[in-house]
Amino acid sequence: MPVDWDWWTVDFGDAHAGAVGVLVGGSEPGPVYFDVGSGPDVPSTTHWSAYDGRYRRPRAEALRAVCACGWRGPAHYPLPWATIGDQPLYEADVDLTGPLADWTAHLSVVRDAAVPLPEPLTALLARTAEQLTATAADSPLAALRAAGMLERIATLVGREAAGALRDDNTSAHTLATALGTTRSKAQIMLLTAQDGY
């Protein structure tokens, strides 16, 4: 089911993107479809604010944190429908601090299990990000050129590192945990290194 992700970090990218999930009848409902008339494409969403019971949509009973890795927050946050009334959820002042805090705590566990970066490399990456951001504001073309160069460097170094790990018989599970990514992405890294793509 496609999910409209609310939160994302540079550390883990799409592997641990987070969102506010909804519960209807104790389980996660399917996507909400929008009636836009006839045609082959029917737009849909899984964004929490669409589950407001209007226009025959499901009405969310509670919210919780969800992560792209499959993790689901154990805490459920009931929606105060007596206060919300009939207004759309996107207009209501719904408190999302609970789900966000739960997802952040989940990321802390993922971060603690991941291999730490050497401090000089962490500092260099932070400075590079700052410089690229400043360059994008002053000279977007130069920033795009630099981003392309970094992407090619990262691809080359990534293949070499994945090849070394493959040669050491590192499992996809171990690699996924160390990188804070999914097992399928780790398998692709190892296969890419093996096949020499």
Kindly state the average pLDDT of the residues 71-100: 94
pLDDT digits (tens, 9 = 90+) for 35-72: 777 767 788 889 999 999 988 889 999 999 999 999 99
**pLDDT at site 75:** 97
DSSP 140-186: HHHHHHHHHHHHHHHHHHHHHHHHHHHHTT--HHHHHHHHTS-HHHH
CB 18 within 8 A of CB 5: yes
In the chain, the N- to C-terminal Cα span, in Å, equals 30
C-alpha to C-alpha distance for 122 and 128, rounded to whole angstroms: 10
Q: Report DSSP state, residue 118.
A: P
Beta strands in 24-149 (DSSP E): 32-33, 44-45, 62-67, 77-78
**pLDDT at site 63:** 97
**pLDDT at site 33:** 87
Mean pLDDT check: name the lowest of 1-5, 138-142, 161-165, 177-181.
Answer: 1-5
Kindly state the average pLDDT of the residues 178-184: 91
Q: Does the structure show a pLDDT above 60 at 2?
A: no
**Regarding predicted confidence, which is higher, 144 or 189?**
144
C-alpha to C-alpha distance for 90 and 134, rounded to whole angstroms: 34
**pLDDT at site 197:** 43
pTM for the model: 0.81
Provide the token pair at 32: 């909400």
Query: With the CA atoms of 52, 98, 72 and 184 taken in that order, what torsion angle do they form, in degrees rounded to the nearest 10?
Result: 110
Provide the token pair at 5: 């992700």
Q: Does the structure show a pLDDT above 50 at 1?
A: no
Residue burial 142-177, b: 16+ Cβ < 10 Å; e: rest? ebeebeeeeeeeeeeeeeeebbebbeeebebeebbb
Task: Say how many C-beta atoms besides its own lie within 10 A of residue 63's C-beta.
Answer: 24
